């Protein structure tokens, strides 16, 4: 027999600050193959047109549907109700600006992080559209591709203890972004220059290493490896800079 499911959903409209945040219960009958995408759309169409949430692709590609499902950050579009208990709590991802109910603005956060980490190729080489395409080592290209798979869903940030208490922390998504450029031979930044960007408590040294991010990334980016890679490089760069500092003062 089909289950009756209860969804306990966070409700708050920042444009109506007088109305306190609350959890509101909705009920519906489970259907085969049902995802949270189907659930939320059914609830909005059939029960409550005021419910706010975000979906674009429905296929774990756009990253817009990140939310806390029973406390765990994940993509709602790829969450099947058959894997959920009879009562499920849905909350918006913390850290990001709340737009209303389950809808948050991850775009501003990711744009600021990209600017702070200078997430573009740094080179003096002038682009020549007529030049022959430069070949890249396959293994390096694959490592860059791995980091590039980030869909900016924010799940690693929403579940990160440091990001929740320190808004300036760039999180695993930020460190992954930096790793992408460190790996790229076209980016001519030195380790000392990267240290300026990420060798701080707001960067890789703010990470407490419990690896919730690695568990929560819905596309399986190896965040544990990316954090270790950047931390190793930045620890070595910091050590060299400290050794050079007394000589520079002398
Ligand atoms: S390992 Fe670091 S970046 Fe990942 S969730 Fe923990 S504190 Fe955040
Ligand atoms: S690293 Fe993974 S969890 Fe973090 S924003 Fe990118 S896709 Fe989402
Ligand atoms: S709707 Fe695009 S990732 Fe879920």
| pLDDT at residue number 247 | 57
> Measuring from atom 5 of ligand 1, which residue has the nearest CA?
160
Encode pLDDT of 173-194 as tens digits. Answer: 999 999 999 999 999 999 999 9
Scored b (16 or more CB within 10 A) or e, 51-85 reads bbbbbeebeeebbbbbbbbeeebbbbbebebeebe
Res 235: pLDDT: 96
Query: Could you report the per-residue pLDDT of 236-246, keeping only the tens digit for each?
Result: 999 988 887 76
In this predicted structure, what is the pLDDT of residue 213? Answer: 96
pTM of the model: 0.93
Which pLDDT score is estimated for 98? 97
Of the residues 55, 93, 155, which should be mutated to test ligand 3's pocket, given the most ligand atoms within 8 Å of the CB?
55
- Mean of pLDDT values over 82-111: 98
Q: Which two tokens stand for residue 8?
A: 């306990």
Residue 90, phi then psi, degrees to nearest 5: -115, 125
R_g of the chain computed on alpha carbons: 22
| Domains by residue range for the chain, with CATH | 4-103 (3.10.20.30), 117-249 (1.10.1060.10)
**Using a 6 Å CB cutoff, which residues line ligand 1?**
160-162, 171-172, 207-213
Q: Which ligand is nearest to the CA of 220?
A: 2
List CB contacts of 190: < 8 A, sequence separation 6 or more. Answer: none
pLDDT tens for 21-70 read: 999 999 999 999 999 999 999 999 999 999 999 999 999 999 999 999 99
pLDDT in tens, 67-93: 999 999 999 999 999 999 999 999 999
User: In degrees to the nearest 10, what's the CA dihedral of 184, 112, 150, 234?
Assistant: 50
C-alpha to C-alpha distance for 170 and 117, rounded to whole angstroms: 8
Q: How far apart are the CA of 156 and the centre of ligand 1, in A?
A: 8
How far away, in angstroms, is 232 Cα from ligand 3 center? 33
In this structure, which ligand is nearest to the CA of 180?
2
């Amino acid at each position: 027999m089909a289950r009756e499911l209860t969804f306990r959903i966070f409700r708050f409209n920042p444009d109506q600050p007088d109305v306190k945040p609350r959890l509101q219960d909705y009920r519906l009958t489970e259907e085969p193959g049902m995802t949270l995408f189907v659930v939320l759309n059914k609830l909005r169409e059939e029960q409550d047109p005021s419910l706010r949430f975000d979906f674009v692709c429905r296929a774990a590609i756009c990253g817009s549907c990140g939310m806390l499902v029973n406390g765990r950050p994940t993509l709602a579009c790829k969450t099947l109700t058959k894997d959920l208990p009879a009562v499920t709590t849905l909350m918006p991802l913390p850290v990001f600006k709340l737009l209303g109910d389950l809808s948050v603005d991850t775009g501003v956060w990711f744009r600021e992080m990209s600017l702070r980490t200078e997430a573009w190729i740094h080179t003096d080489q002038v682009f020549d559209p007529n030049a022959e395409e430069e070949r890249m080592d396959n293994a390096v290209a694959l490592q860059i591709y791995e980091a590039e798979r980030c869909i900016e869903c924010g799940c690693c940030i929403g579940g990160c203890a440091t990001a929740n208490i320190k808004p300036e922390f760039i999180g695993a998504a930020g460190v992954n972004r930096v790793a992408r450029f460190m790996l790229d031979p076209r980016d001519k930044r030195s380790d000392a220059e990267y240290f300026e960007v990420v060798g701080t408590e707001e960067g890789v040294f703010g990470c407490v290493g419990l690896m919730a991010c690695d568990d929560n990334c819905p596309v399986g980016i190896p965040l544990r490896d990316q954090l270790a890679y950047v931390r190793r490089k930045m620890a070595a760069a910091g050590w060299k800079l400290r050794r050079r500092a007394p000589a520079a003062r002398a």
